[in-house]
Amino acid sequence: MGVTMGYDRADVGSRRPTNHLIWRAMVTLKRVVVWLLERFLEACILGGLFMYLIVRSGGDVPRGNLTSLCSDVWISGVVVAVLLFVHGYYLTTAICGVLWRSPKLWVYPAITVALFALHTHIIFLRGKPDLTQEARAMELPFVGGGAVVAFMCSLVGNVALKRWTSVRQNSGPYLSATGLTLLFFLLLNTANYLRPVIGDSSFRPYGLPFTFYREGGYVREWVWRNGVLVWRGLIADIAVLAAVVMLVGYVSQRIRIAQRVRQ
C-alpha cells in the first residue's frame, strides 16, 4: 500500500505543511484587505467629522451642491489620513490588525480606539503652538467622535473577517474575489492620486479606470471653480469593479471544482 489517493506517502506527508503555509498566507492577505478597507472607511467618516467641527467652530454654513460637499469631505478625509499616517497611527494599527489579531471581537477595536486617541493627542500636542484657540478646542470632540468611528469600523472589519475566513466553500471564491479586487482598485487609485504633478494642477483628474473626481482650478487666471465628482465615471468604475469580481469569482470557483474532481 505505497499509494494513497493517487499520491505516494512522501508526497502526502509533504502536502500538509504546504497547505498550512498556503492557508496562513491567505489569512494574512485577507487581514490586509480588511485592514485597508477599515482605514479607508474610517478616513472618509473622519473627514466628515473634521469638516463639521471646522464649520461649527467658524460659524460658516457650507454652500454649494451635494457634489461640492462630497468633494470637501473627501479632501478633509485625505488631510486627516495624511496626519494620522505621518504620526504612526496606521503602522501601529497594522501591527495589531494584520500581524496579530485577537480572536475576541472587542479586543482589536478597543486597541484601535486607544491608539487613535494617543496618536490624535500627539498631533494636537505637537501642533499646539501654531493652533488657534478654536482649533485647540476641537481636540476633545474630534477624539471622542473619532474613537467611536474607529471602534465601529474595526468592529465591522472584525465581523467581516471572521465570516470571510469561516465561509462555506461554495461562496468563498466570490468573497475572496471581492476583497482582492477592492484591494487592487484601492491601491491602483491611491497610486493614481499620489502621482507627481506635471505642469499646472488645475482640473487634475483622479480615478482609474475611469475618472470619478476632477480637482478645482482657476479659469482665465481669476475665476475659481471647485472640484467635482464625475458621476458617470464613478458609476462606470463601480460597474467594472462588479464585473471583475464576478469574473474572478467564477474562474476561482471553476478551478476549485476542477481540483476537487482530480482529487
Residue 5 zone, left/alpha/beta (φ > 0; ψ -120 to 50; rest):
left
pLDDT tens for each residue of 19-38? 667 677 778 888 888 898 89
Enter the pTM of the model: 0.68
Q: How far apart are CA 247 and CA 207, in angstroms?
A: 22
Picking from 166, 190, 205, the residue at the C-terminal end of a domain is 166
On whether both 236 and 107 belong to a single domain, the answer is no
pLDDT tens for each residue of 237-257? 989 988 998 898 888 888 878
Mean pLDDT computed over every residue of the chain: 80
For 119, residues 6+ apart whose C-beta sits below 8 A from its C-beta are 84, 87, 88, 89, 92
pLDDT tens for each residue of 191-240? 887 787 776 667 788 888 998 888 777 776 666 676 777 888 888 998 99
On whether both 149 and 226 belong to a single domain, the answer is no
Looking at residue 207, its pLDDT comes to 87
* Residue 174: all three cell numbers together: 466570490
On whether both 141 and 172 belong to a single domain, the answer is no
Picking from 149, 166, 183, the residue at the C-terminal end of a domain is 166
On whether both 174 and 94 belong to a single domain, the answer is no
**Cβ-contact 150, 113 below 8 angstroms:** yes
On whether both 125 and 87 belong to a single domain, the answer is yes
- Exposed (0-12), middle (13-18) or buried (19+): which is 255, by Cβ within 10 Å? exposed
Tell me what the mean pLDDT of segment 140-153 comes to: 95
pLDDT tens for each residue of 177-194? 887 888 788 888 888 877
Look up the domain containing 63 and give its range.
Answer: 1-166
pLDDT tens for each residue of 58-109? 656 555 566 667 777 888 888 899 899 999 999 999 998 888 888 888 899 9
The Cβ of residue 246 has, within 10 Å, a number of other Cβ atoms equal to: 14
